[in-house]
């Protein structure tokens, strides 16, 4: 449904891991963030919020990657994970 949306995503990086994320809308990067636990012994998080107009038929998703991987898609949950939510405002 077209309209104004708020999207929220969180990255959770494991110890000694840098996890990068990008919010993609219809093939274009709209915002990016990093959860930098690379120099830490603990787990770290990074949360990003964006309010944006989305048209019907446009795809919205979060692409995540490890450091220096140019945001190639990953699927290894041992080093980090992400969450993604969206709500229609109007």
Going by C-beta distance under 8 Å and a sequence separation of 6 or more, which residues neighbour residue 45?
10, 11, 12, 13, 35
CA distance 88 to 66: 30
53: tokens are 């107009």
Task: Name 80's bridge partners.
Answer: 13
Percent of the chain with pLDDT over 90: 38
pTM above threshold 0.75:
yes
Give the model's pLDDT for residue 22. Answer: 87
């Amino acid at each position: 449904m077209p309209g104004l949306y708020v999207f929220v995503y969180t990255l959770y990086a494991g110890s000694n891991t840098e996890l990068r994320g990008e919010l993609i809308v219809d093939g274009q990067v709209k915002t990016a963030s990093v959860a930098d636990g690379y120099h830490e012994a603990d787990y770290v998080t990074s949360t990003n919020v964006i309010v944006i107009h989305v048209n019907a038929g446009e795809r919205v998703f979060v692409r995540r990657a490890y450091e220096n991987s140019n945001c190639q898609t990953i699927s290894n949950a041992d080093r980090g994970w992400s969450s993604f939510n969206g709500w229609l405002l109007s």
